[in-house]
Amino acid sequence: MEGNNMGNNQNNNQALNMSINIREKVLNPAPGFLMLFVNIFGIIACLILFGVSVTGFFGYATPVVVFLAILLFIMFCIFFGGLKTIKPNEAMVLTLFGKYYGTMKKAGFFFINPFAQAFNPARSIVMNAQGQATSIGPRSISLKVNTLENQKQKVNDILGNPIIIGAVVIWKVKDPTLAVFAVENYRNYLSIQCDSTIRNIARLYPYDDMDEDGDGVVEKTLRSSSQEVADRMKEELQQRAVGAGLEILEVRITHLAYSEEIAAAMLQRQQAVAIIAARRKIVEGAVSMVEMAIDQLSEKDVVTLDNERKAQMVSNLMVVLCGNKEAQPIVNSGSIY
């Protein structure tokens, strides 16, 4: 079963890798403040040139100069669209006329091709007043550590018992280019893969080890080995998310309980197991105490007891030591025979 899961994960990763053969290209854009000042001075110069040419300040006005001033003015206005701001721990994946242009990861104020557009498929989609879908949110890709809280879901453990389990996933975008182009929406992709991973791993373990045979062998369970189960969830989820450019930092189980329909029965079963285990300890202690009492009486020659009296003494001591209620002593004033 585990081999099949590994094979499916490898096939999924191969499918993701085959779906995109674009290598990340990190851009080194020009400084933004320099281009900002150039644009401002260029627009001012175009306005001055246009005013001088139209008014004939120098005694002449040519259509070529007017057209050149208008053209340069439009060009400098378009250049303002190339000014981009990147915050720390953010990246911007750019496309130019439908093709991958490059990725900016360095924080700062830069100038790029004004026709290049930032693309982020994980932006929120809302409906406006006209009923049209509109994307809102930043166009940059956050490289910060994110938390995905998986909703509680009902699964069956390896014994078939229905349980309720929930987990939280700590993750971040490692390769923004893959995250944008490999999957439709990397946040939704991670959420679905998280649900599937938790379900696949949870059904490989029992909820709890009842130890009904009393052999003392403790089995790995969801309750007692939660950290090991979470590490296995992290490993499988990382195998699924690597093709989407995501890195799984940690998986933690936040909720674990029996389903409502069997919770009461399982509680009674756990109580019965606990009572049996406690009784077993009491009997073991009582036997050792009776044995110690008989040995010390024999060694010190306090009293000599035959087998029948020893059996009676053992019976009385076992009743006293193993009883739920305090024993009521009876003083025998006659002979024990």
With pLDDT > 70 as the criterion, what percentage of the chain qualifies?
70
Cβ 222 vs Cβ 165: under 8 Å = yes
Cβ 189 vs Cβ 141: under 8 Å = no
**Which of the four pLDDT bands, split at 50, 70 and 90, describes residue 1?**
very low
Q: What are phi and psi for residue 267, nearest 5 degrees?
A: -65, -40
Residue 153 bridge partners (DSSP): 165
End-to-end CA distance of the chain: 70
Lowest mean per-residue pLDDT among 128-137, 156-165, 226-235, 285-294: 128-137
What pLDDT score does 136 carry? 67
pLDDT, tens digit, for every residue of 262-306?
A: 656 666 666 777 777 777 777 777 778 777 777 777 777 666 666
Hey, which CATH number is domain 146-258, 3.30.60.50, 3.40.50.1110, 2.30.130.10, 3.30.479.30?
3.30.479.30
Average pLDDT of the segment spanning 156-165? 84
Domain definitions of the chain by residue range: 19-121, 146-258, 268-322
Report the mean per-residue pLDDT for the chain. Answer: 77
pLDDT at 70 over 50: yes
Tally the residues of the chain: 337
